[in-house]
Amino acid sequence: MPTVLVLNGPNLGRLGSREPDVYGSADLDALRAELTATAPAGWTIDLRQTDDEGELIGWLHEAADSGAPVILNPAAFTHYSYGLRDAAALVTKPGGTLIEVHLSNPHARETFRHTSVISGVASGVIAGFGFDSYRLALLQVVGSS
């Protein structure tokens, strides 16, 4: 049964109450429900969130070992975590799929958000469409499998 790992970085556990003007007022449980409803029958959505860089890197190692496609919102790690970048490359360099997603459009925000150290090793990037960023990434994953 194909599994898609939907991995979320720091502070995304606060979705729903965190800056709703930027990130919306729905939480991760609502995102999980929306992605589960979008996934074709037989696909599993394994959505996780952590504030811990090492834990997120460990989950990417898991994807590198299993070959599971990844939808990754690296949150603030996007902008500076070379450790996360190297772990993302472990997924994509051998041919695996990792799509970087963002709820907001970081390029329309503060200058420090304009840099992503992840994009260069991602299969693709979708940003600015709220939960639809994840949904579009999922449609790409299932469509290309």
Q: How many whole angstroms separate alpha carbon 76 and alpha carbon 142? A: 27
Site residues for ligand DQA, 56-115, by CB under 6 A, read 73, 75-76, 78, 102-104, 106, 113
- Is 23 noted as a catalytic residue in this protein? yes
Give the shortest CB-65-to-ligand DQA separation in angstroms: 25
Quick one: CA dihedral 102, 124, 34, 57, positive or negative?
A: negative
- AA identity, residue 110: E
Q: Output 2 or 26, the one with its CB closest to ligand DQA.
A: 26
Total interface residues for ligand DQA by CB under 6 A: 10
16 DSSP 8-state letter: T
- Is 102 noted as a catalytic residue in this protein? yes
Active-site residue, from 82, 102, 107, 134 = 102
**Contact yes or no for 102/115 (Cβ under 8 A):** no
Q: Any contact of residue 11 with ligand DQA (CB under 6 A)?
A: yes
User: Which residues line the annotated binding site for substrate?
Assistant: 73, 79, 86, 103-104, 113
**Contact yes or no for 84/58 (Cβ under 8 A):** no
Q: How many whole angstroms separate alpha carbon 77 and alpha carbon 54? A: 11
Q: Output 11 or 140, the one with its CB closest to ligand DQA.
A: 11
Q: How many whole angstroms separate alpha carbon 98 and alpha carbon 5? A: 9
Active-site residue, from 23, 80, 114, 134 = 23
Catalytically annotated residues: 23, 102
Chain residues that interact with ligand DQA, rule: CB under 6 A: 11, 73, 75-76, 78, 102-104, 106, 113
